[in-house]
Chain A
């Protein structure tokens, strides 16, 4: 798949995972890995951007004597998912149009 397209999809994939409940780095990767292969060096910038754009917030909690950072989706993040699904519907319509050879 085209890299740019994949990157755009990954943002929403991460948000989708978080919409089910807060999570942390390692768990996000393993939850996603059954559907999309994502490396740590890809995930970190995504989480950073999501935090910058206000789609997630973070909190720190202790786990086994060390600090763990949890990512929590915000209202804006949930809105972003809705936006994506609407865009995708348009995309699918265009896809169908092209698949039919330029006519519907």
Chain B
């Protein structure tokens, strides 16, 4: 009775959106029906074939309940299991091997690249902040120097430091935005990856 069990399991899986007791009622109905047909003399294979695919039957049942059966809504895991179950075992093993051998380094590489960009932006931002602080300190020092006596040099030096301060502040703001945007982006990507595996 392997065909019958497989079909019923398929139906149960396809009805995953229904509450458990409803799913049970539906599968019981079909189990009874299949058994009755077999009892009346029809072969198991012929009965299962005449029912159509469990997915189509499930869709009809869900439609009646106003639940949308959407293949696209299935999460990544379900889709993989569905396609994998249609392939012979050796194909699944080979594909799995390649997926890990190729996919994993790529993911790690991309992840590392993204991370290093984020770190760099933050580092430059930090450097700009540091330079700005340095300029502020230099301004004070040169003001003091100017007061103490080195007037013209002092003034020129103050001017240069103010300019430096302005430039570093602008760069600091710029890199602040770059750093925060790339950080948010990384977080967003991580969340999406996390959801993709869990979405039901």
Within 8 A of B (CB), among A33-77: 40-42, 44-45, 47-49, 64, 66-69
Asked if A41 contacts B36 (CB within 8 A), the reply is no
| Least Cβ–Cβ distance between A56 and chain B, in angstroms | 14
Contact check: which of A25, A45, A48 meets B33 at CB < 8 Å? A25
Total interface residues in chain B, CB < 8 Å: 20
Contact check: which of A24, A25, A49, A67 meets B64 at CB < 8 Å? A49
Asked if A69 contacts B29 (CB within 8 A), the reply is yes
Asked if B57 contacts A41 (CB within 8 A), the reply is yes
Asked if B32 contacts A45 (CB within 8 A), the reply is no
Asked if B60 contacts A42 (CB within 8 A), the reply is yes
Residues of A within 8 A of B35 (CB): 66
Asked if B26 contacts A66 (CB within 8 A), the reply is no
Asked if A25 contacts B29 (CB within 8 A), the reply is yes
Q: Dominant SS at the B interface? A: helix
Asked if B39 contacts A40 (CB within 8 A), the reply is no
Asked if B64 contacts A64 (CB within 8 A), the reply is no
Contact check: which of A45, A66, A68 meets B61 at CB < 8 Å? A45
Q: How far is the CA of A55 from the CA of B51 in the complex (A)?
A: 27
Q: How far is the CA of A27 from the CA of B37 in the complex (A)?
A: 10
Residues of B within 8 A of A42 (CB): 60
Asked if A41 contacts B29 (CB within 8 A), the reply is no
Contact check: which of A26, A44, A47 meets B36 at CB < 8 Å? A26
Asked if A41 contacts B56 (CB within 8 A), the reply is yes
Residues of A within 8 A of B52 (CB): 41
Write the chain B residue with the least CB distance to A49: B64
| Least Cβ–Cβ distance between B10 and chain A, in angstroms | 14
Write the chain B residue with the least CB distance to A46: B64
Residues of A within 8 A of B60 (CB): 41-42, 45
Q: How far is the CA of A44 from the CA of B62 in the complex (A)?
A: 11
Residues of A within 8 A of B56 (CB): 41
Asked if A64 contacts B39 (CB within 8 A), the reply is yes
Write the chain A residue with the least CB distance to B63: A45
Asked if B61 contacts A41 (CB within 8 A), the reply is yes
CB within 8 Å of A: which residues of B? 25-26, 28-30, 32-33, 35-37, 39-40, 51-52, 56-57, 60-61, 64-65
CB within 8 Å of B: which residues of A? 24-27, 29, 40-42, 44-45, 47-49, 64, 66-69
